[in-house]
Amino acid sequence: MTTTTDPVIQLEVGSGGGLIGASTPRKEDQRLLTGHGQFTDDLHVRGMLHAAFVRSPHAHARILGIDASEARALPGVVAVVTGEDLAKLTSPMVVSQEGAHPMVMETLPTAKVRFNGDPVACVIAVDRYVAEDAAELVDVDYEMLEPVLEMHAATDPGSPLVDEGLPSNLHTRQTKSYGDIETAFANADRVIETSFSSQRLTHVPIEGRGVLAIWDKGRAELSFHSGQQTAHVTRTLLAKRLGLSENQVRVISPDIGGAFGLKIPLFREELTVAAMAMTLDRPIKWAEDRAENLMASNHARDDSVSIQAAVAADGTILGIKAELWADYGAYAFYPPSYMIDVVGWLLLGAYKIENYEYTINVAITNKCPAGTLRAPMAIVTWATEGTVERIADELGLDAVAVRRRNMIRLEDQPYRSAPGYLYEALTLRESFDEALDRFDLEQFRRSQASARGEGRLLGVGLATVLEPTTYGSAWYKASGDEGSGHEAATVKVEPTGAINVMVGIIPSGQGYETTIAQVVAEALGSTTDNVAVRLGDTHIVPYGMGSRGSRGAAAGNGVAYLAALTARNKVLRIASHRLGVPIDSLTIVDGSIFVIDEAESRLSLADVAWMCYMDPTSLPATEAPGLEVHQTYDPPELTFSNASHVCVVEVFRDTGQVEILDYHVVEDAGTLINPMIVDGQIRGGVVMGIGQALYEESIYDDAGNNVTSSFVDYLIPTADCVPNIRIHHVETPNPNTPRGIKGMSEGPVQGGIASVALAVSDALKGLGVTVDQLPLHPSRILGYLRAAGAQDD
């Protein structure tokens, strides 16, 4: 492993046996792999009812009336409620954005439906079977309206309004400019134009959305069991929309079977179940099925980037203009500009470009709403790297040389991007060089030429990824958004020396129970077996901002480490007092406190903990009883990690099929807490990128019907199409985070999409084909070849 030795933030380091950086087996796997995990749908309580939703078969229609009499008469049905009923029990969601009209979303629609799958009524029954049967008996009278299905057409003056509270379907149009863009273009030898479009797709976790809501009438308290990525924020929203005090709501997130950004917002179905549990004073559970998941859980992507690059004859990029579009669907769970704007400020990628202008356009359409999916900025690396490739092609230059001419190097940092973000300790150029040291590009070009002579189409894609990981509160303020980037942790050393840790992040497969145990054990000089990690229960853990982006390592693990260091310092102060030796002569190893250079321990962590709770009069006068630390940590405005991906493919001319032959990743995520877990995140992210590049797509017909509501039509990557992914780590610690941790998890998606798409483009180079639309499924590739005259009909 290549490791740099740049200085890290100076923090006291525990001596727990080098646990940070060790590939410790995942603690959570014992229960998950032996069938002892507990997910939302595993929960059962006495008297529990079940919910099912009536969903719109139309993309755009007025609701003229709802007749639920036949459904209510079905034995076992307890209640049927509509948007009109729920408007009396809940308040609507209002999403505001600076410079744009607010968007309002009712709990269930009262006037019209806006997409195929929009929930219009909820049936509560004694079991799911009765609830589903009754849902089919609810008769909704609709007046059909013309659907709006394409984001550019949606903005035409005569287009029907999707949201009649807005003046236009073009919700957002904003331009941001940096440097002297006009001079850059005036001085250019050439202006190179490119465009890239990504399809609509969805999250497809193994476990869909679900909730069990329990109202305790005696305590006037709502318990909300649901796989939530941001449990505390969900609690705040639930209380607000149900008219409760926040101390009346408890959110408990059990094991989560995948989330990928889906399980961040409070969904209308979940709010409905909570409201009805309170109304009926009965526990109610809802678990969506796969059709609901594919039709009515948030979608993502469906965006495009058009670029004009002002370049010098030697390949220097003088300036960039970009036009960005996003189809936001029918409703807003987030400010509509949020996800496409990150594409804008990240579009310059690994390159030194001082003059930059981008315009974002967000359209509202009659499709399932868009939300965050792992790497909301996923298109960005493909667009950036694809533009660099086009510059090289049109100028007759080597693409590697063009990259190196424009790349930001470690020696250039600290570096401020044109939009104003600080880059530190990033090995963009260095990791790219490392990737090419490990992959013999010249040898590949010889093999590629030989294969082309045999009629075979081989290609290679090179992609350097810049990944934003941890967003501090300063980022939200600078962006004009409400929000916080802080995280919180509580570390308790119990009287026996056992350690309990509570942190505001929530796992959905990332291995937090393992990595948090590692950082806490390292700081306190204990072992991971002695550390229990408690997550996801708002009655137990401190208020945190949850799991989103790639913040789990630097923010979540970072704050746990800092809290454990504070506890360690108290332990050593007490031990110093008790033993009569200087504090700097002490260390803790495997729960035993040693005077440095002495072979025998004089005191243990458990001894000190016992004193703190059971013998506080023996403590120094300055020390309070107990051994419990609560700590918050607000990371820098924005931290980044980086990687370089190399992908080799073969495109089969006769079938349009793509086979991935080789795949390399050089990743720099700063200090690695657990390399095995990081490797798992890289592999999972690359596979998600492969899915977007080649397979996945949510498709609507001309009437607005979702025609990909099962795995027969919605394709995801399977084991037979996933390559062996070879991973190499470069560790360059961030100087401003605990232990130099950077984090990662979304960048592999960016790199997977870009390197696969560019490899296919490279394979088709010289055939008159421009690859500008995903996914690259066989029919699209055959269409490209036929349009270029390179394929027989």
463-481 tens-digit pLDDT:
999 999 999 999 888 887 7
Q: How far apart are CA 789 and CA 768, in angstroms?
A: 8
Would you give the distance in Å from CA 251 to the centre of its chain? Answer: 21
What token pair was written down for 224?
């909300």
Distance CA 10, CA 738 (A): 9
User: What does pLDDT average to over the chain?
Assistant: 95
Q: Report the b/e string of 492-507 with b at 16+ CB within 10 A.
A: bbbeebbbbbbbbbbb
312 within 8 A of 188, measured Cβ to Cβ? yes
Given this model, what pLDDT does residue 17 score?
A: 55
Pairing mode, strands 457-471 and 638-651: antiparallel
- Please tell me the distance from the alpha carbon of residue 440 to that of residue 547, in angstroms, as a whole number: 38
How do strand 586-589 and strand 415-416 relate by DSSP bridges?
unpaired
**Backbone torsion region of residue 295, taken as left when φ is above 0, otherwise alpha when ψ lies between -120 and 50, otherwise beta:** alpha
Q: How far is CA 247 from CA 213, 239, 244, 456, 747, in A?
A: 16, 8, 8, 65, 38
The token duo for 204 is 């497809």
- Euclidean distance between CA atoms 307 and 751, whole angstroms: 19
pLDDT value of residue 566: 98
Give the C-alpha separation, 372 to 393, whole Å: 34
Pairwise CA distance, residues 533 & 515, whole Å: 10
Check whether 596 has a pLDDT greater than 90.
Answer: yes
| Confidence class for position 12, pLDDT limits 50, 70, 90 | very low
Q: Judge whether 51 and 126 are in contact, CB under 8 Å.
A: no
Report the sign of the C-alpha dihedral through residues 393, 394, 398, 404, in that order: negative
Within 8 A by CB and 6+ apart from 411, the residues are none
- Average pLDDT over every residue of 96-117: 94
Can you say whether the dihedral through the CA atoms of 683, 689, 690, 696 is positive or negative?
positive
- For residue 313, pLDDT over 60 is answered with yes
Residue 775 φ/ψ, nearest 5 degrees? -85, 160
Q: Could you report the per-residue pLDDT of 207-216, keeping only the tens digit for each?
A: 999 999 999 9
Whole-number Å distance between alpha carbons of 313 and 649: 31
Residue 766 region, left (φ>0) first, then alpha (ψ -120 to 50), else beta?
Answer: left
Look up residue 505 and give its DSSP letter: -
For 6-31, b/e burial (b = at least 16 CB within 10 A) is bebeeeeebbbeebbbbebebbbeee
Instruction: Give the span between the Cα atoms of 416 and 734, in whole angstroms.
Output: 15
The span from the CA of 657 to the CA of 776, in Å, is 9
Name the token pair of 57. 């078969």
Q: What is the pLDDT of residue 54?
A: 98
Which SS3 state, helix, strand or coil, does residue 274 take?
helix
Q: How many Cβ atoms sit within 10 Å of the Cβ of residue 723?
A: 19
Q: Which amino acid is at 454?
A: E
Tokens of 475: 């980022």
Q: List, in order, residues 6 or more apart from 587 with CB less than 8 Å away.
A: 15, 525, 593, 594, 596
Q: Is residue 382 classed exposed, middle or buried when 0-12, 13-18 and 19+ CB atoms within 10 A define those classes?
A: buried
CATH for the stretch 299-474+636-788: 3.30.365.10
- Give the pLDDT of residue 792: 59
CB hemisphere CA count around 554 (13 angstroms): 34
Q: Is the peptide bond before 775 cis (omega within 30 degrees of 0)?
A: yes
In this structure, the strands spanning 531-535 and 638-651 are: unpaired
One-letter amino acid for residue 603 of the chain: L
Q: Where are the alpha helices (DSSP H) in 501-555?
A: 512-524
Count the Cβ atoms, other than its own, within 10 Å of residue 615: 11
User: What pLDDT score was predicted for residue 506?
Assistant: 96
Interatomic CA distance for residues 251 and 546, integer angstroms = 12
Identify the pLDDT of residue 758. Answer: 98
Give the residues across from 201 on adjacent strands.
300
H or E, element range at 416: strand 415-416
- What is the distance between the alpha carbons of residues 302 and 202, in angstroms, rounded to a whole number? 10
558 close to 487: Cβ distance less than 8 angstroms: yes
Length of the chain measured in residues: 793
**Three-class DSSP category at 586:** strand
Tell me what pLDDT residue 483 has. 84
* Nearest by Cα to 302 from 364, 359, 390: 364
Give dist(CA 239, CA 104) in Å, integer. Answer: 18
Q: pLDDT per residue over 762-777, tens digit each?
A: 999 999 999 999 999 9
pLDDT of 16 strictly over 50: no
Instruction: Tell me whether the CATH fold assigned to 40-145+209-256+263-296 matches the one assigned to 299-474+636-788.
Output: no
Do the strands 638-651 and 628-633 form a parallel or antiparallel pair, or are they unpaired?
unpaired
Average pLDDT rounded to a whole number, residues 252-256: 97
Tokens of 603: 């005191």
What's the confidence (pLDDT) of residue 7?
Answer: 28
Contact 198, 378 (CB under 8 A): yes
Compare 791 and 317 and report the one with higher pLDDT: 317
- CATH architecture, domain 40-145+209-256+263-296: Alpha-Beta Complex (3.90)
Q: What is the pLDDT of residue 521?
A: 98
**Residue 33: exposure state from Cβ atoms within 10 A (0-12, 13-18, ≥19):** exposed
- The ranges assigned to domains in the chain are 2-37+486-633, 40-145+209-256+263-296, 299-474+636-788
pLDDT at residue 3, as a whole number: 30
- At 680-737, the pLDDT tens digits run 999 999 999 999 999 999 999 999 999 999 999 999 999 999 999 999 999 999 999 9
Q: What is the percent of the chain with per-residue pLDDT over 90, rounded to a whole number?
A: 93
Distance CA 367, CA 697 (A): 13
| Residue 422, beta-bridge partner list | 416
**Of 554, 505, 509, nearest in space to 533 by CA:** 505
Query: How much is the pLDDT for 476?
Result: 87
Under the banding of pLDDT at 50, 70 and 90, the label for residue 1 is: very low
Per DSSP, 543 falls in state: P
What is the CA angle 377-712-659, rounded to 5?
60
Q: Report the range of poorest mean pLDDT among 107-111, 155-159, 413-417.
A: 155-159
Q: Which pLDDT score, from 0 to 100, does residue 482 have?
A: 77
Strand boundaries in 71-110, DSSP class E: 77-82, 93-97, 100-105
Q: How many whole angstroms separate alpha carbon 501 and alpha carbon 319?
A: 49
Query: What pLDDT, on a 0 to 100 scale, did the predictor assign at position 479?
Result: 81
H helical segments located in 512-604? 512-524, 558-579
Residue 337's pLDDT is: 85
The reply to whether omega before 414 is within 30° of 0 (cis) is yes
* Mean pLDDT, range 266-281, rounded to an integer: 98
Q: What are phi and psi of 27, to 5 degrees?
A: -65, -35
Q: Is residue 557 predicted with pLDDT exceeding 90? A: yes
CATH topology for 2-37+486-633 is Aldehyde Oxidoreductase; domain 4 (3.30.365)
Pick from 378, 357, 356, 414: nearest CA to 304: 378
pLDDT at 592 over 60: yes
Q: How far is 778 from 41, CA to CA, in rounded Å?
A: 38
Residue 186: count of CB within 10 angstroms of its CB: 11
* Over residues 247-254, mean pLDDT: 98
Give residue-wise pLDDT tens across range 428-438. 999 999 999 99
Q: What would the mean pLDDT of 188-196 be, rounded to a whole number?
A: 98
Question: What SS3 class is residue 504?
Answer: coil
pLDDT tier at 336, thresholds 50, 70, 90: confident
Provide the terminal-to-terminal Cα distance of the chain, rounded to the nearest Å: 50
Helix residue ranges per DSSP H, 247-355? 268-280, 290-296, 338-346
Q: Are the beta carbons of 369 and 338 closer than 8 angstroms?
A: no
pLDDT score of 328: 96
